[in-house]
Structure 1
């Protein structure tokens, strides 16, 4: 996955979480960049078809009310093996994660990743409901995963390392089961 695609996925996810249209985001950027982006420019950015300047990243972060590193988070670490930072130059996903989630910012980055996961799960639930899928079991699985994520966030604030490890293991198992259920629903 290219670095621009990573940023684009996050811009789309964060914009959806704020219930903004692409046009609304483009207009809102004018406050922080001195000019607005067209809907087409936002669409291109969300698809990873646009290079980002430092000013663009700061403007997006301010408009979406997140940190700049939040724009660089890989939403699915397991599926991404590497991130292409230039033509023919890729960084393994683990190294990329370590660079983005620097040790000194581990807790806040983990919370941001958790919030991103909660937003993604919520959006998935809404899509499933909107599409009228026969997904009672999958929705129950999503709700269970949301509860586990909430528990992990609670444990983080309590700094319970062992509890965090156990909850993350449960969350990973739940996420894996949900992914398989979505794949089988998509095949139907």
Structure 2
């Protein structure tokens, strides 16, 4: 692929729960893409072991974008957002107003935003072309999907409110939270073709 984008929740609140961090790092290092592997932190990537989590990701060649952006091959801007409500905090790292990031980006350049939680979508102007999110796990265990559908404007899938608004894709993700099971939902990796 040209790039791999991971919109958060690499961990489940506690780095010390990982029995073999080196193996996890080695697995992450197998992710290869022409322009790199990028991620942003999800609400379960914070807490007392936050620094250890970030260190493992960075040592695994995953570029974390924390209210930062990169321009890829002078063709595309990629913005990563800090999650608004991390469990246990991000060692003082706080979510900034997205407008300061977007005003620095050439508005004619296609822009993708990684924002773990698909909420407050109105904050994104028509200068953003695509938002990639996760967080909801699509409810994970039925009837959870009915609840996430009520809580989030977009809890799963592809959506565009109108022709002037950004498109959004919310994935159910590859993992679980709490009980390691799913009922009525699937794990997934989303493959996107951009023309």
Scaled to the shorter chain, the TM-score interval is: 0.3 to 0.5
Name which one, 1 or 2, has greater alpha-carbon Rg: 1
For normalisation by structure 2, the TM-score amounts to 0.33
> Which has the larger share of strand?
2
TM-score by length of 1: 0.34
The structure with the largest helix share of the pair is 1
